[in-house]
Amino acid sequence: MTQRDRFRKLGLPMVLLIVVGCAVMAAAQSRERIEYWRTTYEELKATADPRAAKAQTIFARLVQVAGTRPGVVPRLFIATRDPWDLALPIALPDGWIILSKGVLEICYREPARGDDRLAFVLAHELAHQLHDDFWHMRFFQAFEAVRAHTPVAPAFLDEMRQRTTTTEHVLTRELQADERGLIYAAMAGFNPQAIVSEGPAVNFFADWVRALDPQRLRGAAADQARPTPQERAEALRAHLRWVADQTAAFQVGLWFDYAGDYPQAIRAFEHFRAFFPSREVSHNLAASHHHLALQVYQAGKTAVPAFPFQLSLAIDPLTRASRIYLEGPTRGGLGAPVDPATLFRHHLEAAVALYREALSQDAAYIPAAINLGGALIMRGVEAAKGGLSADVAEAITVLLRALEQAPNAPDTPALLNNLGVALWYGERPEHAKTHLTRARTLAPTYPAPLFNLAQIAQAEGRDDDARRYRQAYAQVAPGPSAGAPASGPSPEQVMGVAVGQLEEQVPQAWGPPMRSTVQVDEKTLTVATYPAGMMTLARDGEVLMLLVREGSRGSSARGITIGSEARDVLSRYGLPSRRVDLMHGHSWGYDAPRIAFQLRDDRVISWLLF
Judge residue 540's burial from the number of C-beta atoms within 10 Å of its C-beta, 0-12 exposed, 13-18 middle, 19 or more buried: exposed
Residue, of 175 and 609, whose pLDDT is higher:
609
Instruction: Tell me: pLDDT of 160 over 70.
Output: no
pLDDT of residue 524: 92
Residue, of 181 and 542, whose pLDDT is higher:
542
Instruction: Tell me: pLDDT of 370 over 50.
Output: yes
Beta bridge partners of 43: 79
pLDDT of residue 187: 75
Residue 74: is the preceding peptide bond cis (ω within 30°)? no
Domain ranges in the chain with CATH number 3.40.33.10: 503-609
pLDDT of residue 402: 93
pLDDT of residue 338: 63
* Sign of the C-alpha dihedral computed for residues 189, 195, 197 and 201 taken in this order: positive
Contacts of 213 (CB under 8 A, 6+ apart): 222, 229
Q: In one letter, which amino acid is 9?
A: K
Rounded to an integer, what distance in angstroms lies between the CA atom of residue 122 and that of residue 299? 42
The helix or strand, by DSSP H or E, that contains position 608, with its residue range, turns out to be strand 603-609
* Sign of the C-alpha dihedral computed for residues 265, 268, 274 and 278 taken in this order: negative
Rounded to an integer, what distance in angstroms lies between the CA atom of residue 32 and that of residue 248? 36
pLDDT of residue 296: 83
419: pLDDT confidence band, cut at 50, 70 and 90? very high
Say which CATH class 503-609 falls into: alpha beta
Instruction: Tell me: pLDDT of 496 over 70.
Output: yes
Rounded to an integer, what distance in angstroms lies between the CA atom of residue 254 and that of residue 265? 7
Mean pLDDT of the chain: 79
Q: Which of 142-156, 338-352, 514-528 has the lowest mean pLDDT?
A: 142-156
Full strand arrangement of the beta sheet holding 75-79: 75-79, 96-100, 89-91
Helices 390-405 and 412-425, interaxial angle, to 10°? Answer: 150
Please give, one letter per residue, the 3-state secondary structure of 139-187. Answer: HHHHHHHHHHCCCCCHHHHHHHHHHCCCHHHHHHHHHHHHHHHHHHHHH
Rounded to an integer, what distance in angstroms lies between the CA atom of residue 427 and that of residue 70? 29
Which segments within 82-162 are labelled E, that is strand? Answer: 89-91, 96-100
Contacts of 533 (CB under 8 A, 6+ apart): 548, 549, 550, 551, 552, 553, 554, 562
Q: Are 69 and 364 in contact (CB under 8 A)?
A: yes
Question: What helix, strand, coil percent values describe the chain, rounded to 5?
Answer: 55, 10, 35
Angle at 69 between CA 317 and CA 407, to 5 degrees: 60
Contacts of 18 (CB under 8 A, 6+ apart): 135, 138, 139, 142, 163, 164, 166, 167, 170
Mean pLDDT confidence for 22-35: 59
64: pLDDT confidence band, cut at 50, 70 and 90? confident
How much of the chain, in percent, has pLDDT values that exceed 90? 39
pLDDT of residue 578: 82
Rounded to an integer, what distance in angstroms lies between the CA atom of residue 300 and that of residue 257? 21
Rounded to an integer, what distance in angstroms lies between the CA atom of residue 576 and that of residue 309? 20
Q: Which of 18-22, 87-91, 426-430, 552-556 has the lowest mean pLDDT?
A: 18-22
pLDDT in tens, 271-320: 888 877 778 889 989 999 998 898 888 775 554 456 788 888 754 333 33
Instruction: Tell me: pLDDT of 252 over 80.
Output: yes
Instruction: Tell me: pLDDT of 162 over 60.
Output: no
Rounded to an integer, what distance in angstroms lies between the CA atom of residue 191 and that of residue 202? 17
pLDDT of residue 363: 85
Q: Are 81 and 41 in contact (CB under 8 A)?
A: yes
- At the topology level, CATH places domain 260-476 in 1.25.40
Contacts of 364 (CB under 8 A, 6+ apart): 67, 68, 69, 70, 405, 406
Which of 121, 129, 119, 144 lies closest to 36, judged by CA?
144
Q: What is the DSSP letter of 1?
A: -
Rounded to an integer, what distance in angstroms lies between the CA atom of residue 81 and that of residue 84? 9
pLDDT of residue 113: 86
Integer CA distances (angstroms), 497 to 490, 504, 564, 607, in order: 13, 10, 21, 14
498: pLDDT confidence band, cut at 50, 70 and 90? very high
Instruction: Tell me: pLDDT of 336 over 80.
Output: no
pLDDT of residue 18: 36
pLDDT of residue 178: 81
Which segments within 395-532 are labelled E, that is strand? Answer: 514-520, 523-530
Beta bridge partners of 608: 547, 596
Domain ranges in the chain with CATH number 1.25.40.10: 260-476
